[in-house]
A and B are shown apart, each in its own frame.
Chain A
């Protein structure tokens, strides 16, 4: 998506006319966007390239349905998000969250969050992000998605609604329920404490 000079409208027109070169250009143009979404929602044991390929194939199959009501990148994002969610739903079992499975840094961050009121150290931000993904991984796919978009990526309810196709009320309800589940997980972790 870094290429500002890319003429998307012309490219789409050529793709609709079955131009293979245009199709390749479109894939190359959208790859950074798609892979970013795939990596942030990546279901366990699914290779990111396979998932990205599935998303692009869906995009080509449904291209005739794109009427230009929303930006093309939004439309593709929606396909990417729903494909990832479908993959996550297919993997019904989620591994149990245990202190022992955390890295030293992740355990330190969790310890700091659970026991003190201070901020997490800046140099622990990568560990904090990994920890957030692991905690979100304990939730159902829809709950995980809504908290990731709302809290971690700081999208508005309206943006999430556009991206997922859920109405704003549903987004709020899902976020509330997801936070309740996460709260229970926090309480459980606090009870178990770090061994």
Chain B
């Protein structure tokens, strides 16, 4: 590697000796164009809106889910679970079968 290192070092040392390019000013109209585009690109995009509202929507969905679980749990605890078992349902099919036999 030493041989290469010395060659590379000589080459980059020579390259560093090249005069540095002078500072150049922005071409005419460049700054105006860039500034105008910067603000133009500031309009909300679909992706931007999604990114903005997705997290809030997630929080709202979580709250709704918790609320629905809580309500359901409360409903089950208050004994309403027997509602369907105790309620006598009208069964038209058995009515027809009974009347025909």
A residues lining the B interface (CB < 8 Å): 1-2, 18, 20, 23-25, 27-28, 31-32, 35-36, 39, 49, 52-53, 56-57, 60-61, 109, 113-114, 117, 119-122, 124-126, 128-129, 131-132, 135, 151-152, 154, 179-180, 182-183, 186-187
Contact = CB atoms under 8 A, between A and B. Distances in A.
Q: Which 5 A-B pairs have the closest CB atoms?
A: A120-B14, A128-B14, A125-B17, A60-B38, A23-B35
Interface string B17-38: 1110101111100111111111
Contacts of B4: 179, 182-183, 186-187
Contacts of B19: 125-126
Nearest to B27: A49
B10 interface: yes
Nearest to A154: B16
A57 B41 contact: yes
A135 B8 CA distance: 10
Given A131-B11, A183-B4, A186-B7, A126 B18 contact: yes
A120 B31 CA distance: 41
Interface in B50-77: none
Contacts of B14: 109, 119-122, 124-125, 128-129
A57 B39 CA distance: 9
Given A27-B31, A113-B7, A182-B8, A18 B39 contact: yes
Which secondary structure dominates where chain A touches chain B? helix
- Pick from B11, B21, B24 the residue with the most CB of A within 10 Å: B11
A132 B13 CA distance: 10
Given A24-B35, A132-B12, A182-B4, A31 B26 contact: yes
7 contacts: A23-B38, A32-B25, A39-B21, A61-B38, A113-B10, A120-B13, A124-B14
B35 A35 contact: no
A10 B11 CA distance: 44
B15 interface: yes
A151 B9 CA distance: 8
